[in-house]
Each structure stands twice: as structure tokens, then as C-alpha cells.
Amino acid sequence: MGSNAQNPQDEALSSANEERLQYLAEATRVRHIYKSGVPLFTKEKMRDLGKQMAAIKTTGKPGIIYTADLQGNTMECSINEGDGPQPYMIYRGIFQLLDKNPEISGSRLLPILVLDGEYPPERFSKHLSVEKLVAQLYDAKAQWESGPECPELRALISKTEFPHVRKIVGFGCGSLSEDSKFSNRPPMFQHTFMLTLRDILQQKQGVTVQAFAQDPAYNVRHKDALSAVGIKAVDDPDGWLEVDDETIVFTVFPTVPVRQIIADIARPAAMIWRRVERLQRYSSSFLDEASPRVKAMVRDHYTEVDFTKVVNVKLPGSPDTFFDDITTLYVRKEYQRRWKPRDRGLRPKSAQDKPSDGGSRPLFLTDITDL
């Protein structure tokens, strides 16, 4: 009698084919949604998730957080850890959503996930006092401002025409307790860079400029220390909610898709981040990859300003720089009308369409072909 038992190799092949077909179906759906202009990230979604997370943290009891995927289907995220570890958000850009990793299967339509756990692990943070952290921040600021690059920054900001700026928001500037020697730690210098930039802009514009920083690595002592030097450390998603058209966004080594999030939610006055390469190769392993929307935003709404003399600043006692060597400055073109979320995925037709009265220009959907 013949056996109906399937050969193990055939079973493995069948399973692999099923996974491949499932991936192709999910990826096709994600591409279609993305190319239609549907935002992966919105302030409304972030604000709602933030409120739900705050409620669970306040009660310290298990609960369910409700969200919606890119097709509008209601999804549930169970938070079961009670008053121990806290829920936190994970952001996934278009390349992570299209990654072939089977672990993402089934949640490919969720750019924002709410996970159950403690982040950051407090046990990995060195317990430096607030006073010690404040002293290190001021020492780092003094070293940075006494170097040759700080005058270059002052000269650059002074001669550059900026839209009106009222806020600087830094993302992923790092923990203040990562290392025992502050002089070799980029996080200290990135935070003090924000303070220097704020001071220069306040002097240039004659108005108060607020500084905000968002990083899940901050603990209570970090937040208190930053507050003492003039930076308001905020929890996720409050940093994103602060970004508007009078904001400078600052990020150097983020572990979230900062540029993709900003491209969906705002058109800041300026951004200081990695240069967007027109022919850049994509990699899902680089979490802040420049997506087609990021490229379109920079191409159509911003002017790049040479930042070379500023980013070459060396860390004291180290050959390394505290900026990525391709960090640059993008300043919004002021002839364009104020951007609104409904303009997402739109761009001006051409430079010739710029009206003589400085008003709005004709817009049409960007042709996205590189996904």
C-alpha cells in the first residue's frame, strides 16, 4: 500500500513556498499602500498611543492598547507586566516593513508597535548623580565652545537665512551614563551642541528658543540634569508632537527612522541629520534609511547648507568626531506656503512654477518608483 506521508524535504519546501507567497502578498500590499500616499506615521496616532500607554503606566495594571494598521483594522497590544517594566513604542520605516525577516510576518502593516518591557534597562545605566551629570555637561560645553569648530557654527548660522525658529528638538542623542569618561562620549557633546545652537539662534532672532530632547535611554537623573542646563527631556511620543514648521530637528545616530517619521508629520524650519544621497542604496539594517518620501521632501522643500567645517570637530583625546561625517544642514525654502499633513506625498511641479508673488505653487503626486 502506498503511503500518504510527505517527505520531510517536501514538507520543508512546501513550508518555504508558503512563507514566500505570504511575504509577497504582504509586501505587495504594503507597497501599494505606501505608493498611494498613506502615511506610515501621524501625530494623531502617536498622541493616541501615548495617552493609552500613560494610562497603563499610571495604573500599574495589565491592560490592552488599541491601534489600527495601515488598512484601518483594529489591533490589540496586550500589556501584562503591571507596575514593573513599562510599555514602549517601536517605529518601523518602509524598509523594515518590507524586510523578508519572517519575524515581521503578520505585523507588516503596523509601522508603530507597542511592546511590553522595560526600556531602557535601568540596571545597565551607571548611577551618576544629577550634580555629576550637570558638571560633565557644562565641561563638555566649555570644551566644544573653546574649539575651532564652534566659531564656524556661529558664522554659518549668522549668515544663513532661516525660517522663524522657536524650538530645537533632538532625537536619539544618547544616554548621559554610557561611559565612565565623559570626554570621549558623543552624547555629552550632542546635547551641548543643541545648547550652543539655541544660544546662537536666540541672539540672531531676538526670541526665546526652546530645546527638547527625546531618547528612551533617559532615566530620571538624565532628565533632571538636562533640565538643569536648559534642555527639556520628553518621553516618546512628545518629541514628535513638538515638531512643527518653526522647529530645527537634530539627530546624528538614531536607532529609529527619524527622517521617515519627520517626512510624514511635518516640514520643519531646518534639519541637521545625515545627508540624503540621491542614489543611496537601501538597507533594512540601517534604521534611519532615507525613503523615497524623505528624498522627495529634501529635494522639493529644502536647501542644503555646507556643514563640513562644523561636523569635523574631534572628541578630546580621540581621533573620532562626535558627528557622523556626512551630517549636514537642510533649511526649508521660504517661498513655499506652510505645509499641511494633507500635502504629504505632494511636490511642486518645477522651479518655473514658482509664482512671482511668493504664493503657493501647483502640486502633484510624486512618482515613487524606487521601492
Q: Are residues 149 and 214 in the same domain?
A: yes
Q: Are residues 67 and 168 in the same domain?
A: no
Is residue 33 a part of any domain in this protein? yes
Is residue 243 a part of any domain in this protein? yes
Is residue 8 a part of any domain in this protein? no
Final residue of a structural domain among 86, 103, 119? 119
Q: Which residues pair with 90 in a beta bridge?
A: 113
Q: Are residues 174 and 307 in the same domain?
A: yes
Q: Are residues 129 and 109 in the same domain?
A: no
Q: Are residues 112 and 220 in the same domain?
A: no
Final residue of a structural domain among 92, 119, 146? 119
Q: Are residues 230 and 161 in the same domain?
A: yes
Pair 226, 134: CB distance under 8 Å: no
Q: Dihedral through CA 34, CA 40, CA 44, CA 45, nearest 10? A: 130
Q: Are residues 93 and 134 in the same domain?
A: no
pLDDT of the residue at 366: 38
Is residue 5 a part of any domain in this protein? no
Q: Are residues 33 and 168 in the same domain?
A: no
Q: Which domain holds residue 270?
A: 123-365
Q: Are residues 99 and 155 in the same domain?
A: no
Q: Are residues 228 and 271 in the same domain?
A: yes
Within 13 Å, how many C-alpha atoms sit on residue 40's CB side? 31
Q: Per-residue pLDDT for the chain (371 aa), expressed as one digit of tens each?
A: 555 666 766 666 666 678 888 888 989 999 999 999 999 999 999 999 999 999 988 887 888 999 999 999 999 988 875 555 478 899 999 999 998 876 665 688 999 999 887 655 554 445 788 999 999 999 989 988 888 889 999 999 999 999 999 999 999 998 887 554 444 467 888 999 999 999 999 999 999 999 999 999 898 999 999 999 999 999 999 999 999 999 999 998 898 999 999 999 999 999 999 999 765 555 544 678 899 999 999 999 999 998 887 876 665 555 556 666 688 999 999 755 555 655 554 444 443 333 333 333 323 233 344 56
pLDDT of the residue at 13: 65
Q: Are residues 70 and 199 in the same domain?
A: no
Q: Which candidate, 41, 70, 35, places its Cα nearest to that of 341?
A: 41
Is residue 181 a part of any domain in this protein? yes
pLDDT of the residue at 79: 84
Quote the number of domains for the chain: 2
Final residue of a structural domain among 84, 119, 154? 119
Is residue 165 a part of any domain in this protein? yes
User: What is the DSSP secondary-structure string of 6-58?
Assistant: PPHHHHHHHHHHHHHHHHHHHHHHHHHHHHTT--S--HHHHHHHHHHHHHHHH
| Cα distances (Å, whole numbers) of residue 339 to 1, 246, 288 | 73, 11, 23
